[in-house]
Amino acid sequence: MTLQAPRPGRRAGTHTTRSPRRAGRPGGSRWGRPSASRPAGPLRWAVVVVGGGLATQLAGCGQTSPSALDPHGSGADRVAGLWWLLFWISAVVFAVVTVLVLVALARRRGDRDTLVRRGGGEALIVIGGVIVPAIVLTAVYVVGLRDLRALTVPAHTDLTVEVTGHDWWWEVRYPDQGIVSANELHVPVGRPVRLLLTSRDVIHSFWVPQLTVKTDLIPGHTNTTWVQASRPGTYRGQCAEYCGLQHAKMAIFVIADPPDAFDRWVANERQPAVAAADPVAARGRLALERNSCAACHTVRGTTAGGTLGPDLTHFGSRRTIGAGALPNTPGNLGGWIVNSQTVKPGNRMPPQPLTPEELQALLAYLERLK
């Protein structure tokens, strides 16, 4: 009787100690066994946090999203090599620790007090817990320092590009070639290119996962890094430092050309804008020069000489509008010119009150600026 008596008493006691709010709730019997439901709390939170974190990470993966584990350049090769080294070390450590825990559980003799009294195992703790980790971490540190130095010391090269961050686009200049462009960076395959990075407004960060590591663009300061592509292709980069409302729509594309294609690109970019050969394009050029476009954009060879926005001299050859916000098609460009705020709210370009005829002519002209 004495063994059975506490059971109803305990249950009654649980009810009396419960808060009035919970006790008064309909279906309160769900809370009748607090000792069983309590451990589920932290476990459930752990599942939610880990599961949510994994889902968020995986949501960022896709066939079109560039991965640092798919390197196409010598800088990214080092990053991926270091990543895999750390991954395999972690995997081995995890496997060894799991096996040791399972062996300890399987071969456990006696209760905790007996084990503590018996002692032993100090050698395993010193070797496995101090000496081995010290050796592994020192080795990883040395390898990391070696890679860090290789990634930050600029390679010897005769090709330099100045990249300037703006809210929210990238200005790209080749000072020795006299080229000014935006949001696309052409490089020759197999040749290192020195990048001089700075910002006109806030801190941005240049990151092209398949080619190189992140480097910040800081106002009033120039950071130097380098990029070298091992294969031709178009590599998407992304501003990697939160810089305001449209940080996510601040993409840059590095286009790695075979050497002869790169030379042709340079020769073309050095030229002023193509002449407006037909009447429609000529009207488009006039619309650009007479409207507020000319106050912010430069088209070399015309009277448009603004420097607040991207240089449009060879705009027609670019892949996207608004730093990756939209593919460069006449339809998208029309929508962008009329009111880019609907696509990229907060950007510096105001809506353009053009007549439909002016807009059509301007689109025809801009898309011809190859």
- Min CB(159)–ligand CUA separation in Å: 24
- Given the complex with ligand CUA, which of 168 and 235 has the nearer CB atom? 168
The CB-based long-range contact list for 318-323 (8 Å cut-off, 24+ gap) reads 318/181, 318/182, 318/183, 318/184, 319/184, 319/234, 319/253, 320/183, 320/251, 320/253, 322/169, 322/249, 322/347, 323/168, 323/169, 323/170, 323/182, 323/183, 323/249, 323/250, 323/251, 323/252
Residues pairing with 184 in the sheet: 253
Number of separate helices (H) and strands (E) present in the chain: 13, 12
Binder among 163, 195, 227, 239 for ligand CUA (CB under 6 A) = 239
Binder among 83, 87, 141, 242 for ligand CUA (CB under 6 A) = 242
204: contact with ligand CUA by CB under 6 A: yes
What is the token pair recorded at 73? 């350049």
Stretch that binds ligand CUA, among 8-16, 18-26, 238-246, 273-281 (CB under 6 A): 238-246
- Min CB(185)–ligand CUA separation in Å: 15
346: contact with ligand CUA by CB under 6 A: no
User: Containing H/E element for 171?
Assistant: strand 169-174
The CB-based long-range contact list for 323-327 (8 Å cut-off, 24+ gap) reads 323/168, 323/169, 323/170, 323/182, 323/183, 323/249, 323/250, 323/251, 323/252, 324/183, 324/236, 324/249, 324/250, 324/251, 324/252, 324/253, 325/249
229: contact with ligand CUA by CB under 6 A: no
- Min CB(62)–ligand CUA separation in Å: 20
Binder among 165, 209, 284, 309 for ligand CUA (CB under 6 A) = 165
Stretch that binds ligand CUA, among 73-81, 218-226, 240-248, 275-283 (CB under 6 A): 240-248
247: contact with ligand CUA by CB under 6 A: yes
Number of shown-chain residues binding ligand CUA (CB under 6 A): 9
Nearest to 236 by CA among 247, 250, 225, 226: 250
Q: State which of positions 284-343 bind ligand CUA (CB under 6 A).
A: none
Stretch that binds ligand CUA, among 31-39, 236-244, 284-292, 298-306 (CB under 6 A): 236-244
243: contact with ligand CUA by CB under 6 A: yes
- Min CB(171)–ligand CUA separation in Å: 12
Single-letter amino acid code for the residue at 37: S
170: contact with ligand CUA by CB under 6 A: no
Residues in contact with ligand CUA by the rule CB under 6 A? 165, 168, 204, 239, 241-243, 247, 250
